[in-house]
Amino acid sequence: MKFSIQKDRFAQSVQDVLKAISSRTTIPILTGIKIDVTEEGIKLTGSDSDISIESFIPQEEEGKILAEIEQPGSIVLNARFFNEIVKKLPLDRIEIEVMNSFQTVIRSGQSEFNLNGLDPEEYPHLPQIEEREVFKMPTDLLKTIIRQTVFAVSASETRPILTGVNWRMEDGRLVCIATDSHRLAMRKAAVETDSDAEYNVVIPGKSLNELSKILDDTKEPVEIVITDSQVLFRAKHLLFYSRLLEGNYPDTSRLIPTESKTKLELNTKEFLQAIDRASLLAREERNNVVKLSVIDQDTIEISSNSPEIGKVTEQVKSRSVEGDELRISFSAKYMMDALKALDGTEINVQFTGAMKPFIIRPEQDDSTLQLILPVRTY
């Protein structure tokens, strides 16, 4: 194996596949990046066996030569060292050559590294995804969907299924739900598809977070293929595989109230900042709980009280307050997470009582919903 390549493009690909590689793996070969060189170009692979990422650099792109292939072949190199080395090489052009017994020489200018490589035959095969139904969405929409849901997955392994985001496809419409059983985030989106296949799968939150970091904010479509145990996201020159979580996702539809007894219309930013201030004193003693009280037809009050430190109150204008009076307590963190996930300057908050889950939606947009369970404070 021998080739030379443009450094920055190569370093970016190394960086991308590195996201799949865990430093804590117990399988030595998975600490490596696999490099496969063919006449077409250079393919890099990283995997922790849950997530696998492939990045491809074509030999030529838009009439520009990116890589010069002298001899095809494969090698596996320690990912962490290789990444550091590539980033710090002195020149814009680097040359990589495999010698005897997987010894690999990396040259750039006067700098010459000699790395002990591993046998590429030992590298596990990536999941085989049969080309079945494919659906598509723009990259930026995919990133938005992830951002609006994944924060609400459970951080605890007590119920492993809740560490993932439930993706259901029904009638050409994708419904994504995440919940840690204290709050819930839901996002619906239309997708492009030729088939009428229905899916109901759970994608690990960690996988979606890593995917989101790699993808650029473009309108370019991402193709998505779902099988029984795997999901594949295919962007330009990039394949991202994740295993799916096993088990049935709980039915959350009954959790979402259909009526409301008190309804507020609030400016997202003003409300978020008031919650943020009230939470300052609530962080330690009281598990970050703040109180919301309806004062009159256009005012609510946010407050928090920590006997040892002090208390805070703040009145916030509401464009309208409909329905019953209300005093309710909830986690400031959950509320801030929910408000940050919503796009839109005005939101509706709908309550059905101080002990019932309440929902937050952007005005005039029912594709997104955030739900929070209140906290009992007496």
By CB under 8 A, name the one of 316, 336, 372, 375 that touches its own copies: 316
In one-letter notation, the amino acid at residue 19 is: K
Decide if residue 111 touches its own copies (CB under 8 A): yes
**Shortest Å distance, C-beta 224 to its own copies:** 38
Decide if residue 311 touches its own copies (CB under 8 A): yes
Decide if residue 81 touches its own copies (CB under 8 A): yes
Q: How many residues bind its own copies (CB under 8 A)?
A: 31
Interatomic CA distance for residues 348 and 361, integer angstroms: 5
Is residue 176 within 8 Å of 191, Cβ to Cβ? no
Decide if residue 112 touches its own copies (CB under 8 A): yes
**Nearest Cα residue to 328 out of 274, 262, 281:** 262
Subset of residues 50 to 79 that bind its own copies, contact rule: CB under 8 A: 78
Is the C-alpha dihedral spanning 267, 269, 270, 271 positive or negative? positive
Q: Are strands 183-190 and 192-193 parallel, antiparallel or unpaired?
A: unpaired
Interatomic CA distance for residues 27 and 309, integer angstroms: 50
User: For the residues of 243-260, what is the DSSP string, one character each?
Assistant: EPPPSPPP--GGGS-SS-
Decide if residue 18 touches its own copies (CB under 8 A): no
**Shortest Å distance, C-beta 2 to its own copies:** 17
Interatomic CA distance for residues 271 and 302, integer angstroms: 9
By CB under 8 A, name the one of 12, 38, 116, 200 that touches its own copies: 116
Q: Which residue has the tokens 């997987």?
A: 102
Q: Which residues contact 166 (CB under 8 A, 6 or more apart)?
A: 175, 176, 177, 178, 200, 201, 202, 249, 252
Pick 77 or 152: Cβ nearer its own copies: 77
Subset of residues 259 to 288 that bind its own copies, contact rule: CB under 8 A: 273-274, 276-277, 280-281
Decide if residue 252 touches its own copies (CB under 8 A): no
Decide if residue 102 touches its own copies (CB under 8 A): no
By CB under 8 A, name the one of 14, 53, 115, 294 that touches its own copies: 115
Tell me which stretch binds its own copies (CB under 8 A): 107-115, 170-178, 183-191, 215-223: 107-115
Residues within the interface to its own copies (CB under 8 A): 78, 81, 84-85, 88-90, 103-104, 110-116, 273-274, 276-277, 280-281, 308-316
